[in-house]
Amino acid sequence: MSELWKKKLQEEFESFTVPEPEGLWEGISEAMGKEERRKRILPIWWWSGGIAAAAAAVAALFIVFRGPASTLSSGSGDQIALVDTPTVTIPDDSITGTSSSSSSDTFDSNVFVPSSVPSHHSVQTTVIEEFEEAESAVEEPESQPVQDTSGTPETEVPGVDETVVAEVPAEAEQALDTPSGSTGVSSEPAVIDFGNFNDEPAGTKRSRQRGITIGLYSGGVNTARTESYGYGLVQSQRVITRAAAPATGSGDMGMFIRMMAANKPSTFHAQHDVPARLGTSLSAQLTPVLSLSTGINHTWLNSTFTEESGASSTNISQSLKYIGVPLQLGVRIPRLRKFNLYVSAGPMLEYCYASDAVSTSWFGSTKAPEEYSNPGKGSWIWSAGLNAGAEYRPWKHLGLYFEPGVEYHFVRESSPESAYTAKPLNYSFSFGLRFHIND
Amino acid sequence: MNIATGNSLSETELVSGVIERDQNAMRVLYSRYAGYLTGVCSRYIADDSAVKDILQDSFIKIFHKAEEFEYRGEGSLKAWMTRIVVNDSLKQLRKKKNLPLPPTLANEADVADEPWEYTKVPVNELHGMIRRLPDGYRTVFNLYAFENKSHREIAQLLGIKEDSSASQLHHARALLSRWIKEYIHTHNDE
């Protein structure tokens, strides 16, 4: 008899319905529609890769075809962002952020014995995860066997303590959080089928920082400047005469430029465009904090040299192209939610594989034939860089970063005159996109 | 498929359609069970706006997790969906932490063990009476009466003592019994 009232009550309500709240279906379908649209979007890494490739291609085309004399110098050596290079993925940085799983509740669905299902059924349904965040990945605990509670007698406790359902004791909370073991509560496995009511259920995984990052990047050394030399030079030491103009060749023009730059005659001006760099990188996370990255990049260094003396003038347009291989060690500062902060440093070796210089001279109103040269072709240059960066990762595989730094080029006597030699120590900053493969 | 023809679909066919993200299948599933699940949720949650929010979340969860459902016979889909709704309702209640202190009943012992004359009360009236119960009483009553939970299980779920669960149930039944008697008395007079 003690259970009869329950059974009949359940029968009464078996087919009982209440009109659903107004607008419920519209809210559901709208939420489902948003979710479907989001899932239909190509994986982020496809987009980031495509954007990076497109941006790199556009930047490369722009830089290659804009010509050596078409850029403007900063005039004061201030730091100028490489505004002519669109979005780019940034290299490596092995600073792959930790992707944390979102919290979710799990509950053992096996214990629930609905009144409409015969009690002899072994309800081994799977555990259901609460869908809280799309990015979350929560392990599901194994199913638990059903416990038939239909025979549990009603407990009559007249005059019992009037303790009401009040705040959840800490022990009980802990018990629900860790059904396998807690303080002061039965250690029986999850007879509970209504969840753990906890925000971080057992089984939540956190991925380790062992990802590999591949990136395309654009950036550069911010050393654009114009040099105007105010020193005087003894006439006899000046070499800027038409007669002394270098013949077409591979090294004479370069030597000529170096001489002018070294002597700094008052009539000599050097204008170095903002170096532009594109590259790819690969980085690997050595430890959760340390990363090692390398890659290959391409740098364009364009300069214009002008010498004016009386009625004569010489204008040299120079374009240098370097292939560089950097090697950087990165240190990640503990991640703040979706932000990564890091520092990286390391050397880079660059090889000048192409060099073009065109010299145009005027003597009064007479223009001399243009002369061509390849100053610095085949030369090498070492540099060391130190960067600090901040990356924001709105999605798991995509990061937006900003990275200022300094770079020092170890120039040699044979190094062609360029932004590297004019200002060996440079500030730089770059920004762009970076995507992480398995982080 | 439209709702009219969809009503003839079996539970497994419906679930298959939902897994394939068939909008019509989702609509049919919703139409078939929304009323029942609203009744279930509103037995736990007194606030109508909260009922709507919980039901929306529950249905989205049902649609997303349909592939995890394992058919166990007739009624298992309904039971599975009910479980989701009940879980979400309990989580909502859990957020309150301190469930309101129920009123002290006068002469409670006199009504505690009276047999229920619930058959004389329309089910919708019974539903309303259950919703009127204080949160603590109502939660324990629902878990015991409808979900077949033992006091031990209820105590673990809600973080209370086992005898406290029994006490809450005792009070809930006493209140309902009184209201039922008042209802019968009122309608007999009419």
Angstroms from B13 CA to nearest CA on chain A: 18
Q: Quote the CA–CA distance of A439 and A63 in Å, as a whole number.
A: 33
Please give the mean pLDDT across all residues of chain B: 84
The per-residue pLDDT for B111 is 43
B167 interfacial to chain A (CB closer than 8 Å): yes
Of B27, B83, B163, the CB nearest to A112: B83
Angstroms from A139 CA to nearest CA on chain B: 14
A25 interfacial to chain B (CB closer than 8 Å): yes
Q: How much is the pTM? A: 0.41
Residue A156 to residue B166, Cβ atoms within 8 A: yes
A13 interfacial to chain B (CB closer than 8 Å): yes
Question: Which segments within A225-288 are labelled E, that is strand?
Answer: 225-228, 268-272, 276-285
Q: Quote the CA–CA distance of A439 and A436 in Å, as a whole number.
A: 6
**Res. B147: pLDDT tops 60:** yes
**Res. B103: pLDDT tops 80:** no
Q: Quote the CA–CA distance of A111 and A29 in Å, as a whole number.
A: 31
Mean pLDDT of A205-209: 43
Side-chain half-sphere exposure of B118, counting CA atoms within 13 A: 26
Asked if residues A201 and A178 have their Cβ atoms less than 8 Å apart, the reply is: no
A366 interfacial to chain B (CB closer than 8 Å): no
Residue with token string 């929560």: A138
Helices (H), chain B: 3-6, 11-19, 23-44, 48-64, 76-94, 108-112, 123-132, 135-145, 151-158, 162-189
Residue with token string 């004389």: B120
Q: Quote the CA–CA distance of A98 and B182 in Å, as a whole number.
A: 62
Residue B118 to residue A8, Cβ atoms within 8 A: yes
Angstroms from A177 CA to nearest CA on chain B: 11
B128 interfacial to chain A (CB closer than 8 Å): no
Q: Quote the CA–CA distance of B37 and B188 in Å, as a whole number.
A: 32
* H or E stretch at A293: strand A290-309
Residue B90 to residue A197, Cβ atoms within 8 A: yes
Mark A243-257 as b/e (b = at least 16 C-beta within 10 Å).
eebbeeeebbbbbbb
Enumerate the residues of chain A whose CB falls inside 8 A of the CB of residue B136. 164-165
Residue A194 to residue B90, Cβ atoms within 8 A: yes
Lowest mean pLDDT among A44-53, A211-220, A424-433, B104-113: B104-113
A417 interfacial to chain B (CB closer than 8 Å): no
Mean pLDDT of A84-99: 41
Residue B159 to residue A150, Cβ atoms within 8 A: no
Angstroms from A165 CA to nearest CA on chain B: 5
Which residues, 6 or more positions from A46, have their beta carbon under 8 angstroms from its beta carbon?
none
Enumerate the residues of chain B whose CB falls inside 8 A of the CB of residue A6. 144-145, 148
Mutate to test the interface with A, among B19, B83, B116 (most CBs of A within 10 A): B83
Enumerate the residues of chain A whose CB falls inside 8 A of the CB of residue B149. 149
Q: Quote the CA–CA distance of A56 and A219 in Å, as a whole number.
A: 11
Distances (CA, A) of A259 to A268, A374, A380: 10, 16, 20
**Res. A90: pLDDT tops 70:** no
What is the 8-class DSSP label of residue A111?
A: S
Instruction: Provide the pLDDT confidence category of residue A331 given band limits of 50, 70 and 90.
Output: very high
**Environment class of residue A107 by beta-carbon count within 10 Å: exposed (0-12), middle (13-18) or buried (19+)?**
buried
A119 interfacial to chain B (CB closer than 8 Å): no
**Res. B75: pLDDT tops 60:** yes
Is the Cα torsion angle B76, B80, B81, B82 positive or negative in sign? positive
A320 beta partners? A301, A355
**Res. A329: pLDDT tops 90:** yes
Instruction: Provide the pLDDT confidence category of residue B9 given band limits of 50, 70 and 90.
Output: confident
Backbone angles phi, psi at B29, to 5 degrees: -60, -45
